[in-house]
Structures are given as C-alpha cells and as structure tokens.
Amino acid sequence: MHILNDNQQVPIYSLEPDDVIANKHFRVYNYEGSLPNQSDLLMPHRKDYYLIVFIRRAGSRQWIDMAPYIIEDNTIYFTGPNQVIVKEGFEQLWSTGIAFTKEFLSFQENASLSKLPMIQNPQNGHELLLTDADINFVEDILAKINGEYQRPSEWQQRMLAAYLSVLLTYLSRLYTEQFKDSEISIDKLLLKSFQAKINECYRELHEVGDYASLLNISAGHLSETVKIQSGKPAIKHIHERLVLEARRLLFHTHNSLKEIAYDLGFSDASYFNRFFKRETGATPVEYRTNIRKMYR
C-alpha cells in the first residue's frame, strides 16, 4: 500500500489521455463495478478540467468544495476546474464520465458551449436529478459518444463535439429548471461561510458557538439557519468534516490513534475512539483494517 505524507498540498490533476484517441482535451470514462482509485480515495484534490458523470449505481459520498453529496443512482454529477473534490466512499461504481478541458471549449466549433448554464454554473450546483425520460435520453447520447470514441477517424473530433453539444444543451435545460427558484440568499451565503470556516478550523474548533463567534452571529441563529438550509444540525457539519479527515489519516498514514486524535484536536485517544465509533459505527482500528484489506 502506498502511504502518503500528511504534509502535502492539494494536488491538481490534469486530464490524462488514454490509448484510444490520445486526446489531452477530451476523454470518456466507463466504470462497471469498479472501486475508486486508491490514490484518490479520501484525498482532497482538484481537476483542471470539467467532468460530467452519469451515475447508474453507487452508494458512497463525495465532497465538492467541502459540501457533502450522497451519490444517488441515475443522477448526473458535475464539477468544473479547480474545485476541491474528495471521494469518501469505497463502494463499487457503475457510471460513465465525460471529461473535457477549457481548451476543448475554446475550439471554434465549441466556443458557444462555454456560455451554457452547465458550464457557467451560476448557482454553484453539482447534482441533476433525472426522470425516466431524461435517463433514456442521456443513455442514448452517452452510447453515441462511447461508440464514436471507440472509432478513430478524421471525423471523430467533430462527432464527439456535436454529441457533447447536444448533451450539454439538454443538461443545461434541466439545470435551469431545477435551479430556477434558487437565489443566492443571505442564509445560503451564511451556510457556505460556515462550511468554509469549518474547513479552515476543524482541527482547533469543535463547537458551533466557536464558529458563531468567528461569523459574528449568535450560536442560535447559526444553528437555525444551517439546519434550514442544509437539513441537518450545524454540529453535524463539524463532525462530518472531522470524520472525513480521520478516515483520510487512518487510510493514508501510519500515524497512531493517539497521534491522529491529537492532530484533530481531541483531548485523548479514548475520546476520539468513542467519537469515531458513534459517528461511523466502527472503531478507528476496525475502519483502518477493513479499508486497507480492500486495497491490498
């Protein structure tokens, strides 16, 4: 198992061409029951390209700019360049992903695509729910893209661009429908500020009141607003971020439980052990043992 140093910066991944068309600006990914790459799991990273993924079946969770998303079946997830992504779960995945760079969008025949809502993402959304009709349409376009992707020819790039244009246009219509009533309200901005502060201070600050002080509001107002905007208590956001980092350290380092507990701001290892068991259903040792077994 490759163990990573805990003192590294968030890496930025570029789009790597495969052996099919060797294109550094466009790529198709297909997963049929695959596990996530070990080096990606629980490691914050950025991509310098756009990624649109149709999830057929999964059961895990990922974080985008430190906001958690439970991965649902038959749903579209999408990210843009330089957003921080963390893959938290290690369940099998059935999906098709389309990756493309800013340069791909700047090509003359694709220039108008950069103005679509799915690319601009003014509401900072990352999830599109699909009806049965939407699923059929998306599956059909993805099948056409996959077919063309496997058929190198002088027309391949134009055909891929044409199919991608149809897909992005269709998904942009869904985007505007699903986010049409969304406004960047003061309360939503407060939630984002709260999440950003957690990401900065989760090692030192574990109480809602601490973050309320940083945001210059009362703990009651913060708790009420966060619960309304996210559907879960403010303290749960803090605990989820602590658990995410604990899982990362348990998987990617050889640090002892005492070292991990201290790093995360816990007074002693036994308290950290109880906290982790309460939040995940497994002790830190059980989690470390089980996840490493899967990647031997």
Provide the 10 A C-beta neighbour count for residue 108. 6
Q: Within its chain, how far is the Cα of 199 from the centroid?
A: 15
Q: Global pTM?
A: 0.86
Q: In one letter, which amino acid is 185? A: S
CATH class of 186-294: mainly alpha
What is residue 191's predicted lDDT score, i.e. its pLDDT? 93
Are residues 128 and 75 in contact, defined by beta-carbon separation less than 8 angstroms? yes
Mean pLDDT in order along the chain per 10 residues (296 residues): 47 88 89 84 92 93 90 96 88 93 82 90 92 98 95 88 95 93 77 93 96 96 95 96 96 95 95 97 94 77
What is residue 66's predicted lDDT score, i.e. its pLDDT? 85
Structure tokens at 104: 């791909």
Q: Is the dihedral of CA 201, 241, 53, 169 positive or negative?
A: negative
Q: For residue 98, what is the enclosing H or E element?
A: strand 93-100
Q: In one letter, which amino acid is 107? A: F
Question: Which CATH superfamily does the domain covering 12-178 fall into?
Answer: Regulatory protein AraC (2.60.120.280)
What is residue 3's predicted lDDT score, i.e. its pLDDT? 37
Instruction: Report, in this order, helix, strand and coil percent for the chain, each rounded to 5.
Output: 50, 15, 35
What is residue 105's predicted lDDT score, i.e. its pLDDT? 86
How far apart are the C-alpha atoms of 292 and 138, rounded to whole Å? Answer: 36
What is residue 296's predicted lDDT score, i.e. its pLDDT? 67
For the chain, give every domain's residue range. Answer: 12-178, 186-294
